[in-house]
Structure 1
Amino acid sequence: MKVVAFDVASSIAHFRRPDTTATQLTYPFIPPTVAKGIVGAILGIEDFVTKDRVGIQLLSKVQIISQQLSLLGKGSGTVFNRPTTIQLLVQPAYRIYYGGEEYVDMLEEKLMNHHAVYTTYLGSAFALTKPRYVGTWRLQEIVPPDSVCYAKTVVPVDLIEELKVEAGYYYQRANGFMREYLGNRAFQKSIDFLYEQNGKKIKILPKQENDLDMSVCVLEGDLLCLV
């Protein structure tokens, strides 16, 4: 499988959880569907639907603050400003691994030429970002090994047989990420992840199930988990 990696970063980001209303909470890192949306923006595809997969590597500490903003709202045909409490990620940075057969070649060309058709941002228009090409690899999809190993990306909980806890690590679980985008603002399935708050690689014993709906590869001795 061909895998292309690129970095995105910004001073702030907001990936709103769909189950929040008055207070707009954020996911702790970029969801896979948003990462694919960035790829769609780079390629100029407005309603981007693909079977390609993505993996998310944290390049910065997960830091969340709450801020009250005056946002533009709508009501009864009139426009008004409404105070809204919103969670923001501070100084977020991610490495996106994009693999598959549909759009990888097109993405590689765009990234290498520093070209994007549409503006790219991290969840909200006030969090602009510029994707930076990192590299391209030909990787073999593997059955998860039956030995302890480190994962370079955030790890789907369904892949973990056992977590090997290490001193000085701050483990977090993030639930309820949308998994598959069907087009026309419709999603199906959800996925939960385990990650280390400071972006460190997690040491795990993977499950040996063959029906895991994800791609597992090895890069530089570490696991890549693409969903």
Structure 2
Amino acid sequence: MKVLAFDVKSSVAHFRRPDTTATQLTYPFIPPTAAKGLVGAILGIEDFTTNDKVGIELRSNVRLVSQQLSLLHNGGSSFNRPTTIQLLVEPAYRIYYAGEQFFNELEIALKEKQFVYTTYLGSAFAITTPVYAGTWEMSEVLDTGKTYRVRSIIPVTAIKELIPKDGHYYQRASGFMKRYEGNRTFSQSIDFIFEQSGKKLLVKPKLNQEEYQLVEIEGDLVCLV
């Protein structure tokens, strides 16, 4: 199957967790739904929904800071309210994209650097410019007995065994929405395992093609959701 990739980075990012109110916390990396939202912005499709899949590779350390900002109150232009927002510092990601609905359109847009809407990482103050990284013919992983290096974030349910390595700091990130159904509605949740600095995981995977796809690139595993 064909998989393309593009890189995005910014000085800051904020992917707000919907279960936070007074203090606006962020997910530790770009959610799959936000990565697909980037594709919608590139193609100029509002309320973008798709069955195509994405994989997310961390290409920077996950660094978080909290910053108090003065935000405009909904009640009028004369009142500002201080709000504490958690920010990701200097995030960088490689987004893998596969599927039949928008693959060709996206590949052309990335190669020609023609983006319809402004692209950003979760908030309007986190502008980013996608950079085409390449297109590969990848083989789907069917061997669950083999140990793989994983270059993307990977769902908890996709791991049969995680082999720990010295100097690696593993974390679990929970409560991500998996599918965007349109009209600001989401379905299904998904939890991920990742390494704090973006180092590759070493795992024996489990297969579940209905929930995710595992593909191999240059000897490494990429998980598409």
- TM-score scaled to structure 1, two decimals? 0.96
The alpha-carbon deviation at position 79 of structure 1 amounts to 5.5
The alignment status of 1:201 with 2:205, answered yes or no, reads no
Give CA-to-partner distance per residue, 1:112-148, whole Å, 9 cap, x none: 0011000000000000000000000122323253121
Name the structure 2 match of 1:178.
Answer: 177
1:8-23 counterparts in 2 under 5 A?
8-23=8-23
CA contact (8 A) 1:15 1:31 kept: yes
Give 1:120's aligned residue. 119
The residue aligned with 1:64 is 64
Distance 2:137 2:186 in 1: 30
Partner SS state of residue 39, structure 1 = helix
- CA distance in 1 between counterparts of 2:138 and 2:199 reads 22
Equivalent residue, structure 2, for 1:219: 217
Cα distance in structure 1, aligned partners of 2:110 and 2:187 = 29
Q: In the TM superposition, what whole-angstrom CA distance separates every residue of 1:138-188 from its partner, at most 9, and x where no partner exists?
A: 223232531211111001100011110000001011000000000000000
Q: Distance in 2 between matches of 1:10 and 1:54?
A: 20
CA offsets 1:20-61 (integer angstroms, 9 cap, x no match): 000000000000000000000000001100000000000000
Residues 203-222 of structure 1 show CA distances to partners (whole Å, capped at 9, x for unaligned) of 01112x44551111000001
Q: How many residues align?
A: 225
Inter-partner Cα distance in structure 2 for 1:36 and 1:142:
23
Q: In structure 2, the residue corresponding to 1:74 is in which secondary structure?
A: coil
Measure the CA separation in 2 of the matches of 1:144 and 1:89: 36
Unaligned runs of 5+ in 1: none
| Residue identity opposite 2:21 in structure 1 | T
Q: Which residue in 1 is equivalent to 2:134?
A: 135
Distance 2:4 2:168 in 1: 29
Aligned twin of 1:81: 80
**CA distance, structure 2, for counterparts of residue 39 and residue 195 of structure 1:** 23
Structure 1 distance, partners of 2:101, 2:163, is: 36
The residue identity in structure 1 corresponding to 2:121 is L
Check whether the contact 1:158–1:212 (CA below 8 A) recurs between aligned residues: no
What is the aligned partner in structure 2 of residue 3 from structure 1? 3
**Aligned partners of 1:129, 1:55: CA distance in 2, in Å?**
18
What residue identity is the alignment partner of 1:25? L
Distance 1:212 1:162 in 2: 20
* Identity between Structure 1 and Structure 2 (%): 62
Inter-partner Cα distance in structure 1 for 2:216 and 2:209: 19
Alignment pair present for 1:49 and 2:49: yes
Matching residue's letter, 1:135? G
Q: Could you list the runs of 4 or more consecutive aligned residues of structure 1 that deviate by over 2 angstroms after TM superposition?
A: 77-80, 140-145, 209-212
- The alignment's TM-score, normalised by the length of structure 2, stands at 0.97
Distance 1:195 1:144, change over 3 A: farther
3-state secondary structure, aligned to 1:128: coil
User: Matches of 1:205 and 1:151 in 2, distance apart?
Assistant: 10
